[in-house]
Amino acid sequence: MTRTPALLLAALAAALALPAAAQSRGDWTLGLGAHNVDPKSDNGSLDATALGLGPLPPTEVGSSVRPTITAEYFIRDNLGIEVLAALPFQHDIEIRGVGKVGSTKHLPPTFSLQYHFANASKATPFVGVGLNYTTFFSEETTGALAGTELSLDDSWGLAAHAGIDFAVGERSAIRIDARWADIDADVKVNGVEVGTANIDPLVYGAAWVLKF
């Protein structure tokens, strides 16, 4: 079930309550921060019958915090295109009642079209929608799956973004934001497909944003 963080609703409500003022076309910003990728609580069940293990209990993918960087270019007043990048996130993979069975790293570049509700105050809410691409690598196994080869296919999915920039001077701001991404990855063990991991994480954190 999709979770909508309170921050998204608060940002939209604040935006609608504030008078709009244009941000300049041609401006761009750079954001440096840290974010937590927090997968939803139930990531689906795997069926390892072909491997002699039978159906497995629900899978749980752990959270991970890493530095992030964003760049946004304003194609029109208030309207920008943003690219998100990060250092590789690393997640433990557990099977409920069994324990840790592996880990994986991933990179989640995300492209978003964003509208900023600029106004006369120091707080500028924004909302955006876009596309996420997630690539998985460095998969390892342990515990019940030790000695097997684990792989997760790459994923394409929709993404949503919302937050608030709090101005600090004329060309910098502190950003508090949250994202949601649709990440579904086919899982293979020893080359045999055993199911799909429905990760669908919330990604939330803070950043220092510089305007150029």
- Where residue 149 sits, what CATH number does that domain have? 2.40.160.20
- Compute CA distances 100 → 104, 134, 142, 182, 205, whole Å: 12, 22, 7, 24, 26
Give Cβ neighbours of residue 103 (< 8 Å, ≥ 6 apart). Answer: 90, 91, 92, 93, 138, 139, 140, 142
Tokens linked to 136: 């998985």
Q: Does 17 have pLDDT greater than 50? A: no
Total domains, the chain? 1
Residue 146 lies in a domain: yes
DSSP state of 8: H
Residue 77 lies in a domain: yes
Distance CA 193, CA 190 (A): 8
What values do phi and psi take at 52, rounded to 5? 85, 10
Domain hosting 71: range is 30-211
Residue 3 lies in a domain: no
Q: Does 14 have pLDDT greater than 60? A: no
Residue-level pLDDT at 21: 43
Residue-wise DSSP of 53-70:
SEEEEEEEE--EEEEEEE
pLDDT per residue as tens digits for the range 130-142: 999 999 999 999 9
pLDDT per residue as tens digits for the range 97-126: 888 989 999 999 999 999 999 888 899 999
Residue 199 lies in a domain: yes
Mean pLDDT of 63-86: 97
pTM reported for the whole predicted model: 0.83
Residue 13 lies in a domain: no
Residue-level pLDDT at 76: 95
How confident is residue 19, by pLDDT bands cut at 50, 70 and 90?
A: very low
State the alpha helices, DSSP H only, in 72-180. none
Q: Does 7 have pLDDT greater than 70? A: no
Task: State the CB neighbour count (10 A cutoff) for residue 80.
Answer: 23
Residue 4 lies in a domain: no
Residue 9 lies in a domain: no
